[in-house]
Structure formats: structure tokens, C-alpha cells
Amino acid sequence: MSEDLAEWLSDSNEALSLQLVRDPEDEDVLYAQEKRAIEPFHPTFTYPIFGEREKIFGYKGLDIQLQFASGSLRQFLSITYDSKLNSPATPSDEIEGTLYKFIPPDYTKSEMDFSKLVEKDSSEFKPLGEKIGSYVRPAATSSKSKGKGKGKVSNGEELKEDDENAVVFEMYKATWNTPGFREYHRRMQLFILLFIEGGSYVHEDEDSWEFITLYEKRKRPAADSDIWTYHFVGYVSVYPFWCYPDQVRLRLSQFVILPPYQNQGHGSKLYSTLFSQMLSRPEVAELTVEDPAEAFEDLRDRNDLRFLVSNGILDDPKFSIGIGPSDELSRSERVKWESEIRKKYKITQRQFDRLLEMLLLKQLDLKDEKELKKYRLHVKARLYRFNYEMLSQMTLEERKEALAKTYESVVEDYERILEMTFH
């Protein structure tokens, strides 16, 4: 492309801005960090919509605004630009027509209509499905407040949902059979394309999909108000697959927390609620994860580690037996113990192996050479089994070198995760 034409290229990630819009009455009660919830933010990815290069051709000063009513996710689209290239030889990209393929057709381009819709939805919208969990955070009360508390007030007492300065977060479970949810899902699924690398829309003709959506819930501040407003935070989708002989394996397919709510612990709350739900269902054998991103893997590891520790695994007398080279009896006891614990908590084999290795490292006295060697051999044995096909094609020296490098990398990552989890 010539330099003259290159100046008509726009980065689609920068040109497209998203925003969750609340009624002005609900915006006025937000302070400090809470205001992030109503500020514009940009997508991480737009290649599923605008192509691999994530470029839009034919405009200067391009600004695409896609706004969502914060609860119902009804949409407003605005496309403006300073100038547009009008050339039959090099036509400008069709923006609205491209977006139309990915969003519901009932969006509006009228600011006035959208304002009325936001006002109406703010008092009328209610989450769809069955409420399965909630937690409370303190509201920010001034520009100096961070609003990052974990459910306690300044005197250390636990916040209650009906406390005046409480912000409640609720989770709702839904399926395609939930009235109205299929239409609602078509509004929220766009976030999968924009924030999950390799994300794609689920097929609505697959009947067994399950969803958990997370909302911020606030009471209107007026003294005589009995209105609660709901604001979308994120969601997770799972799909059950048959597991021999008579159970199902739940596969976590999509997990997204919108940027205004990230790094505040909401992802952990959503994941732990899903995990608790999974444990309570006798027909579920285990929870698997489909192609997890690194950030989600970290979130999953932290929560799984805390779960195991809170359930006393470190105090189990069998936790440390059969590590590294050991007698057949000890090793047999460990294999049996690991299998029982893993099935009890419905964790996949590889994930459970990693979690145990991290917890063993947490308890390890690094000055004890004998114990350190036992741990190193224990981890290497698992790595050898996991990478057997590749390692079996190497010479003995190449295999030793590869295992040593992999071990060092794995332990370094374990230390990073442990620091995040138990700092």
C-alpha cells in the first residue's frame, strides 16, 4: 500500500470504544475507582470482526462507539470520522455492515432513544435465571476512597447486603431454556470475541450450554426508593460432555470479566461459585478448561490452591508420603490417596498434579538437599510421563538436558504463582 493510502488506515482496536452506560441518577453515586465502570474502554482483539491485521481502511479521525445499557446490554452504535476516502478504485471499508454480522439487529443509532432505553432498563431490568450466589463489597464514599474492600467495614465487621454502604454482586445460572436468555446472550457474546483470543460464538443449536452471569447490584440512593439496579460484570459458559460410565465432564469454554471490573477479585468469585456448583452436582465427574489463556490459568491455579489448603490438604498425614524414589508400598499408598482426593474435588489429573507439586514446593525446606532431590525427581518423573513422546526420541543426554530446563522453568512458574496466592 502506498504512503498516500496508508494514512487512511485506522487501528480497529483503538477506533472502537465500548462503554457501559447507566442512568445519570445511578452514575452520580459512583466515586473514585467505581467510576471506571462507566468509563469507555477498548477491546483487546478485533480481528474476528475486522480481519487479522485489525485495520479499517478509508477513514481519518475514525471513532466507533458501541455503548451498552449496563444491565440489559441493549446497544447504541455511533460511527463518526473527520474525513472518508471516496474512491471507486480503493473503496472505504463498510463498518456498520461489518459490525451488523456480530451484534443483534435491534441496536439504535439515536442518542435520544438510547437515553430513554437506559432510563427504562435501569429500573426494569432484572437478571435472568436462578440466583446461585452473592458477595458484598463496601461502596466508595468519597474521592479519596479506593472502594477495594473485600466485604468488611472500617471496624472490621462483615458487611451485610442490606447495609447502606454495601455494593452487592450476584450470580445467576441460566440455560437456553431460561425465558429471554437466548436473546440476552446474543447481546453479551460479543465480549468473547473482543476479550478472549481465539474466542468464538457458541452454537445455539447445542442444547446443553450452561451460563453463570455476574452483576453488580445497587439500591437507588433516594430515601424512599425501593429500586435495585443491576449492572453486567461478566460471565462464564460451560458445556457437559458424557464421561464413562454414567457421569458428565463439565468443560469451561468461555470466561470473561469486563475491563472496568478486572483486578478486583470478581473473576475469582465467579470461578469459585462455578467450582462450588460443580462439586454439589453428583452427575459431574470433573471440571475441565478449554484452551485457557495464561491469565485465566493463573486465576484457576490461585483459587484451586486456596481451596485445597482451606480443606486441610497440607494437614493430611499422607500429603508428603511417596515423594521421589520410595518403596513400592509408600508409592502405592500415595497413588491411592491422590486418586481419592482428586476424584473427591473433581479436578483433572494434570491440574491436580501441578497443584500438589506447588503445595509440596510451598512446604519444602530448600536447605534440605535430600528432600530437595526427592522433590526434583518427583516433578521430573511427571514431566517425563507428560512429554514422553517427544523425550523418547532424544538421546539420553538430550533428554536429561531437556528435563532439567523444563524443571527449572516449571519451578520458577510455581514460585510466581505461590507468591501471588499466599503472599
* Residues 111, 273: Cα–Cα separation, whole Å: 37
- Does 177 show up as a binding residue in the annotation? no
- Does 409 show up as a binding residue in the annotation? no
C-alpha cell at 225: 426508593
Q: Which of 197, 290, 340, 408 is catalytic?
A: 290
- Does 33 show up as a binding residue in the annotation? no
Ranges of beta strands (E only) in 349-399 are none
- Does 86 show up as a binding residue in the annotation? no
DSSP-derived secondary structure letter, 260: G
* Residues 408, 376: Cα–Cα separation, whole Å: 9
Of 141, 163, 142, nearest to 152 (Cα)? Answer: 163
Phi, psi (deg, nearest 5) at residue 305: -65, -50
The answer to whether residues 43 and 18 touch, using CB atoms and an 8 Å cutoff, is: yes
Say if residue 161 is exposed, middle or buried (CB neighbours under 10 Å; 0-12, 13-18, 19+): middle
- Give me the count of residues in the chain: 423
Residue at grid coordinates 536429561 = 400
Residues 6+ apart with CB under 8 A from 236: 211, 212, 252, 254, 255, 256, 270, 271, 274
- Does 263 show up as a binding residue in the annotation? yes
Ranges of beta strands (E only) in 205-331 are 210-219, 228-243, 247-257, 284-289
The answer to whether residues 345 and 309 touch, using CB atoms and an 8 Å cutoff, is: no
- Does 41 show up as a binding residue in the annotation? no
C-alpha cell at 200: 468464538
- Does 234 show up as a binding residue in the annotation? no
245: preceding bond cis by omega (within 30 degrees): yes
User: For this structure, is 119 an active site residue?
Assistant: no
The answer to whether residues 18 and 194 touch, using CB atoms and an 8 Å cutoff, is: yes
Distances, alpha carbon 138 to alpha carbons 33, 46, 169, 279, in Å: 12, 35, 11, 29
The answer to whether residues 188 and 43 touch, using CB atoms and an 8 Å cutoff, is: no
* Residues 231, 371: Cα–Cα separation, whole Å: 51
- Does 133 show up as a binding residue in the annotation? no
Q: CA angle 403-404-410, nearest 5°?
A: 85
- Does 264 show up as a binding residue in the annotation? yes
- Does 262 show up as a binding residue in the annotation? yes
> Which residues lie across from 17 on neighbouring strands?
65
- Does 231 show up as a binding residue in the annotation? no
Cα within 13 Å of Cα(409), Cβ side:
7
C-alpha cell at 215: 452483576
**Residue list, annotated binding site:** 255-257, 262-268, 302
Catalytic annotation, residues: 290
The annotated binding site for acetyl-CoA is made up of 255-257, 262-268, 302
